[in-house]
């Protein structure tokens, strides 16, 4: 199947709009860049190296995050939001066009179901968008579905229901293979709401048995990501509740099975950066769902509530990258629900927050840090991280975007394009269309 070249005319933001807005900001940007370059050079850091590393960073977009999200209380649709997977890809290409950071989308089935995946792949390629990990869905019942997932799916007490869930995952893998994806993320909501409702060990044994069947179906170069979550939709116990259960399952299944860390799937104040270090240490860190949260699985914009935590996660990722010597390749993806913002603006902001956390982690003086840690010089060790976090790296991020054909100020440029208003004129507005979750 031939590769379709990017058709720039198909991209959502006219290049002249980006050029005009960058011209407006270029002089100040270059001054900021020179100042940051000088500041980093004083610490023997080459800003050009940071820009090159940021340009190599790739983060997958959540297809379900391209439409307005909601809660069990309500969803407030946005005029001009996408109504099908093709329009979701159009909007993904706008985020990538302005940031240069998001060349892939993670699809979710059956929410992104369509009838021709070769055509979908070619449409994506024409828009410069590839396909990251595929997501299966056995946490909702579909119309006409024979067996309900009310009491679970891959861990269900009845074999026929487990078999139905297994077959759905196999179908997702086949679709993903056609699209050029290289991984499947399996998150299940299976669990219980009452003590005694489920037998913990039997449930996990059934889950593992089902996942072995999914694992056997993986193409040779694929990975299976196990996504743990503390609670919701189950509110007493969850079959894959924490990283411990996830890594034990991944180790039991085999080399292609790894753990996916969704930042929102932990109790408040859990030390997620240490979980990241542990999973990386044992070669089981497969991927991320970046977002932020204040209370539960809020799926808020990455870095919008606790940017220091996102930085500390990237600090562990850079450390693991150094240890991994090239074999360390987690799949970075976002998983967010945009309930009160334009999804594109939230994703532009989140992409900047993620790239910023990475850039700040790259400027940590790791030689000095190791020395202070060895000498138990607590304050100086802490300040190695703290001062990197407090460094304003925005000029380096903007240069990475400009060199990728993107915008110095993505939000200003996006608004200057009136993209959403133009889409509202041509897209079919369907207030009853959900993004998937609601
Ligand atoms: C579960 C989850 C999972 C997705 C869903 C959209 O909370 O994080 O990754 O399948 O959100
Ligand atoms: Mn997730």
Ligand 1 neighbourhood includes 336 CB (under 6 angstroms): no
pLDDT at 327: 77
The protein residues having their C-beta less than 5 angstroms from ligand 2 (an ion) are 262, 289, 335
- Residue 335 near ligand 1, beta carbon < 6 Å: yes
Ligand 1 pocket test: pick from 262, 291, 292 the residue with the most ligand atoms within 8 Å of its Cβ: 262
Q: Which of 17, 38, 99 is closest to 402 using CA atoms? A: 99
State the ligand closest to the CA atom of 233: 1
pLDDT of residue 120: 98
Residues forming beta bridges with residue 130, ordered by sequence position: 104
- Cα 94 to Cα 66, 118, 389: the distances in Å are 11, 22, 29
Residue 257: closest CA among 268, 249, 245 = 249
Closest protein CA for atom 11 of ligand 1: 335
Q: Round to whole Å and give the CA distance between 211 and 186.
A: 9
Q: CA 3 → CA 10, 118, 174, 179, 180, distances in Å?
A: 16, 11, 19, 12, 11
Task: Say what the alpha-carbon torsion angle 22, 132, 438, 292 is, to the nearest 10 degrees.
Answer: -60
**Minimal CA–CA distance to 59: which of 93, 101, 108?**
101
Read off the DSSP letter of residue 331: E
Going from the Cα of 356 to the center of ligand 1, the distance in angstroms, rounded, reads 24
- For the record, the structure tokens of 400 come out as 């990475």
**Residue 425 CA from chain centroid, whole number:** 30
Q: Which residue has the tokens 């109504």?
A: 83
Q: pTM score, two decimals?
A: 0.96
Q: Say how far apart CA 342 and CA 421 lie, in whole Å.
A: 11
> Distance (Å, rounded) from C-alpha 232 to C-alpha 249?
20
Residue-level pLDDT at 312: 98
**Strand pairing partners for 285?**
259
- Cα 317 from Cα 362, distance rounded (Å): 10
Give, to the nearest 10 degrees, the angle between helix 15-41 and helix 394-403: 140
Q: What is the pLDDT of residue 1?
A: 44
Helix residue ranges, H only, 217-342 = 243-253, 272-281, 307-324
C-alpha–C-alpha distance, residues 410 and 15, integer Å = 13
Token pair, residue 365, equals: 């003086």
Ligand 2 centroid to Cα of residue 127, in Å, is 25
CB of 262 sitting under 6 A from ligand 1: yes
Residue nearest to atom 9 of ligand 1 (CA): 187
Number of the ligand 1 atom closest to the C-alpha atom of 189: 1
Would you call 183 helix, strand, or coil by DSSP? strand
Instruction: Answer yes or no: are the C-beta atoms of 244 and 277 closer than 8 Å.
Output: no
Instruction: For the chain of 438 residues, list the mean pLDDT of each consecutive stretch of 10.
Output: 61 93 98 98 98 98 97 94 96 98 98 97 96 98 97 98 98 98 98 98 98 98 98 98 98 98 97 97 96 96 98 97 83 98 98 98 98 98 98 98 98 97 88 61
Report which protein residue has its CA nearest ligand 1's atom 4.
Answer: 187
C-alpha 395/C-alpha 33 separation (Å) is: 5
Four-CA torsion 34, 40, 44, 47, nearest 10 degrees: -60
Q: How far is the CA of 118 from the centre of ligand 1 (A)?
A: 26
Pairing of strands 183-186, 191-192: unpaired
């Amino acid at each position: 199947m031939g590769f379709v070249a990017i058709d720039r005319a198909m991209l959502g933001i006219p290049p002249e709009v980006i050029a005009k807005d960058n011209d407006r900001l270029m002089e100040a940007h270059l001054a900021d860049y020179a100042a940051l370059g000088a500041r980093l050079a004083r610490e023997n850091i080459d800003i050009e190296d940071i820009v090159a590393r940021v340009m190599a960073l790739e983060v997958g977009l959540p297809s379900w995050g391209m439409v307005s999200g909601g809660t069990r209380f309500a969803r407030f649709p946005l005029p001009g939001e996408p109504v099908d997977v093709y329009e979701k890809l159009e909007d993904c290409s706008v985020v990538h066009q302005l940031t240069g950071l998001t060349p892939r989308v993670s699809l979710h089935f059956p929410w992104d179901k369509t009838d021709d995946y070769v055509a979908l792949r070619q449409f994506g390629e024409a828009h410069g968008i590839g396909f990251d990990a595929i997501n299966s869905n056995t946490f909702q019942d579909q119309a006409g579905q024979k067996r309900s997932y009310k009491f679970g799916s891959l861990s269900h007490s009845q074999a026929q229901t487990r078999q139905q869930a297994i077959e759905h995952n196999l179908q997702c893998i086949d679709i993903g293979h056609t699209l050029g994806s290289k991984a499947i993320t399996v998150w299940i909501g299976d669990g219980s709401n009452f003590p005694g409702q489920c037998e913990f060990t039997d449930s996990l044994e059934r889950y593992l048995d089902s996942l072995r069947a999914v694992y056997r179906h993986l193409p040779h170069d694929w990975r299976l990501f196990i996504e743990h979550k503390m609670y919701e939709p189950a509110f007493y116990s969850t079959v894959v509740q924490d990283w411990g259960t996830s890594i034990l399952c991944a180790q039991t299944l085999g080399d292609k099975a790894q753990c996916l860390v969704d930042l929102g799937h932990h109790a408040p104040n859990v030390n997620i950066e240490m979980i990241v270090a542990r999973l990386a240490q044992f070669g089981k860190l497969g991927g991320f769902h970046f977002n932020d949260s204040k209370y539960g699985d809020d799926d808020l914009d990455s870095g919008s509530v606790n940017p220091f935590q996102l930085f500390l996660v990237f600090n562990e990722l850079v450390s693991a990258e150094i240890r991994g010597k090239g074999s360390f390749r987690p799949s970075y993806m976002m998983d967010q629900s945009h309930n009160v913002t334009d999804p594109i603006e939230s994703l532009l902001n989140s992409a900047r927050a993620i790239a910023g956390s990475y850039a700040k982690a790259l400027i940590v003086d790791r030689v000095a840090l190791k020395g202070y840690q060895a000498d138990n010089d607590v304050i100086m060790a802490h300040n190695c991280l703290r001062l990197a976090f407090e460094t304003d790296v925005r000029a380096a991020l903007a240069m990475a975007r400009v060199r990728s054909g993107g915008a110095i100020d993505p939000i200003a440029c996006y608004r200057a394009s009136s993209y959403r208003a133009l889409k509202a004129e041509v897209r079919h507005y369907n207030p009853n269309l959900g993004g998937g979750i609601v």
